[in-house]
Homo-oligomer: A and B are copies of this chain.
Amino acid sequence: MRGSALPSENAAGIHPLILLLERRDRLSPEERRAIENLPWRIRSFDPEEDLVRQKDRPTESCVMIDGFASRVKSSADGARQITTFYVAGDFVDLNCFVLKRIDHSVTAVSRCRAGFVSHEALTALIERFPHLTRLFWTITEVDAAILRNWIFQLGRRNAVQRLAHLFCEMSRRLETVGLTRGTGFVFPVNQPTLSDMLGLSIVHTNRSVQELRARGLITWQRQLLEIGDWRGLAQLAEFDPDYLYLTPEPR
């Protein structure tokens, strides 16, 4: 399967990985061609299906094409915590390319597709283009910044603020990949899954959603989440998008 066959949701038909990388730095035509020509293998997943299983030693890494997925860590007694939430364009498991094994599962949240490429091919790619190593590293650092911010949310914010913050973050991340529609976006996530993101019980998650509704900040029906009052929501969440590093830096 050739790279040009890799579908993408964006109008321009540009490869999602190229879009992701060009958010960080310009690519040369050779680099772009090399990425497109990687032996991509596209796979589809249903909700709850695993893209990568905990304690596996995968030989491929993957990039989200569409839909949503999550990195889940679960404990002996069945408690689940989502540590990362992946949307279209996100590189899912760069870490297992580097670290050779994975200490989490990656599970589909909605129906989704991902493009898989072998570690061998990635190794060959970065050996040929050291500049791309640098870019992959940058992506990892941005992911880490998002993780640090989640630690802050979980440690020091109450349920409603966490939820508000999650919606703010989602909105901005989906906006950068062109998946918002006006002030809203498709959010195919049920409340049990949402509670695993927020570190809350299902019941309390539900009540927090209702509070945001009651305050007139959001509406959410039929998987369409509308942010009715962005300023109010961002203020409640004390949302400061700096940690997403969306504004490009000279390098």
Contact = CB atoms under 8 A, between A and B. Distances in A.
Interface of A: 55, 71, 73, 75-76, 79-81, 83-84, 94-95, 98-101, 103-104, 126, 130, 133-134, 136-138, 140-145, 147-152, 154-157, 198-199, 238, 242-243, 245, 249-251
Given A144-B147, A156-B199, A101 B249 contact: yes
B73 A145 contact: no
Contacts of A71: 148
Nearest to A79: B156
A242 B99 CA distance: 11
Given A99-B249, A103-B148, A144-B144, 8 more contacts: A75-B238, A79-B156, A98-B137, A100-B249, A136-B137, A143-B144, A144-B147, A154-B154
Contacts of A55: 242
Number of identical protomers: 2
A62 B198 CA distance: 33
Nearest to A247: B101
6 contacts: A75-B238, A98-B137, A100-B251, A103-B145, A104-B148, A133-B137
A229 to B, nearest CB: 19
The 10 closest A-B pairs by CB, nearest first: A155-B199, A154-B154, A147-B147, A137-B137, A83-B148, A81-B155, A130-B130, A100-B249, A79-B156, A73-B152
Contacts of A138: 98-99
A75 B240 CA distance: 11
Nearest to A100: B249
A151 B81 CA distance: 8
